Amino acid sequence: MTDLSWQTAAQKLIQLALLEDLADQGDVTTTALIPEGQTAQVQIVARQPGVLAGLPVGEMVFQKVDPSVRFQSLADDGTRLSAGQVVAELSGCLRSLLIGERTCLNFLTHLSGVATLTRRFVDAIAGTRAGIYDTRKTLPGWRVLEKQAVVAGGGKNHRMGLFDMVLIKDNHLAGWQTGTGQSLAEAVRAARQKSPAGLRIEIEVDTLEQLKDALQGLPEIVLLDNMSLEELRQAVAWRDQHAPQVELEASGGVSLATVADIARTGVERISVGALTHSPPALDLAFDWKLNQR
């Protein structure tokens, strides 16, 4: 989806996170209180049910802090967790474990929160043909990891950025139509002509009349923004009759309370910004077992 791999993204974020924590002074509390040779064992434990994501990133934290720390994963990303389940065991220098603890947990709790919320939406529409898609409403710098967490939760990725898909939104149309006065179908054709070959084209509409116009340009996807359930049903019926190859995506006002009804209208895609912009963190913690030496 992008040249930026999750490993590269994780390395950059880990470096920044450790710099925030350690600055030039290091962990002054640990240095003052913990003998240099002391070791410990720790388990990473889920305090509540959820879906795991980001465990390989947690391991990378300790590879950066101290490569001698032993990190044993006991679950895979995408695993449904029960309260009390151990997801990893670590052992090694106690100073290193304390230094990496919060950074590791910050990645795990946030990314597992994304995966857990995604799974709740996916489960809510089970039995329909719709898929749950993320958006670009991500934390700056975290996009690759958050989108990976969405997949771990059973969701699907929309475009990664502005470079890998054409998405014609209302503000694009406002500027384009001011200069041309042409239809939405013409906007789709113009985008297809001027964009790199092979990119999918999606266009946003607010009304059924706009949908009818846009479908004449045969985009791959039409985004149905903030439409009522009845409007969504009518949009699906019109699409089925006139352009069955075009996918329909519902967006706006999507919540766990509404998503099942939206899915039952027959749309193929439902995009949910909340997956990445406001997921509750999943509670994971370190359970310590010290070895005195």
pLDDT in tens, 72-96: 999 999 999 999 999 999 999 999 9
pLDDT, mean of residues 142-163: 97
Catalytic pick from 12, 70, 76, 102? 102
Half-sphere exposure of 253 toward its Cβ, with a 13 Å CA cutoff? 12
Same domain as 272, residue 139: yes
Is the pLDDT assigned to residue 138 strictly greater than 70? yes
Domain membership of residue 45 (yes or no) is yes
pLDDT score for 182: 84
When pLDDT is cut at 50, 70 and 90, the band that residue 131 belongs to is very high
Q: Is residue 112 part of a domain?
A: yes
Active site residue 102: yes
Quote the pLDDT of residue 177: 76
**Residue range 185-239, pLDDT digits in tens:** 999 999 999 999 999 999 999 999 999 999 999 999 999 999 999 999 999 999 9
Question: Which member of 12, 70, 129, 169 is catalytic?
Answer: 169
Name the region of 115 (left: φ>0; alpha: ψ -120 to 50; beta: rest).
Answer: alpha
Residue with tokens 């101290």: 66
> Are residue 115 and residue 156 in the same domain, yes or no?
no
Q: What is the domain-level CATH number for residue 176? A: 3.20.20.70
Model confidence pLDDT, tens digit, residues 153-175:
999 999 999 999 999 999 998 88
Residues 118 and 257 in one domain: no
- Composition of the chain by helix, strand, coil, percent to 5: 45, 20, 35
Task: Identify whether 137 is a catalytic site residue.
Answer: yes
Q: Given 59, 134, 204, 268, which residue is catalytic? A: 204
Check whether residue 206 and residue 285 sit in a common domain. no
Q: Which of 59, 134, 202, 225 is catalytic?
A: 225
Residue 207 lies in a domain: yes
| Residues 142-148, mean pLDDT to the nearest whole number | 97
* pLDDT > 70: percent of the chain: 97
Radius of gyration of the chain (CA): 23
Residues 49 and 10 in one domain: yes
Domain around 243: 127-277
Same domain for 201 and 59: no
Q: Is 11 among the domain residues? A: yes
Name the pTM for this structure.
0.95
**CA separation for the pair 136, 210 (Å, rounded):** 24
Does the pLDDT of residue 124 top 80, yes or no? yes
Residues 101 and 149 in one domain: no
pLDDT at 176 (0 to 100): 84
Pair 65, 207 in one domain? no
Are residues 84 and 137 located together in one domain of the fold?
A: no
Do 131 and 273 lie in one domain? The reply is: yes
Euclidean distance between CA atoms 163 and 43, whole angstroms:
41
Cα four-point dihedral sign 240, 243, 247, 252: negative
> What's the confidence (pLDDT) of residue 232?
98
pLDDT, greater one: 181 or 101: 101
Q: Is residue 1 part of a domain?
A: no
Q: State yes or no: is 64 an active-site residue.
A: no
Q: What distance in Å separates the CA atoms of residue 114 and residue 118, rounded to the nearest whole number? A: 6
Indicate whether 4 pLDDT > 80. Answer: no
Query: What is residue 292's predicted lDDT score, i.e. its pLDDT?
Result: 56
Is residue 2 pLDDT above 90, yes or no?
no
Shared domain check, 217 and 184 = yes
Q: How many domains in the chain?
A: 2
Residue 210 shares a structural domain with residue 131: yes
Q: Which of 127, 122, 219 is nearest to 168 (CA)?
A: 219
Q: Which residues contact 261 (CB under 8 A, 6 or more apart)?
A: 229
Q: Is 36 a catalytic residue?
A: no
Residue 261 appears among annotated catalytic residues: no
Decide if 39 is inside a domain. Answer: yes
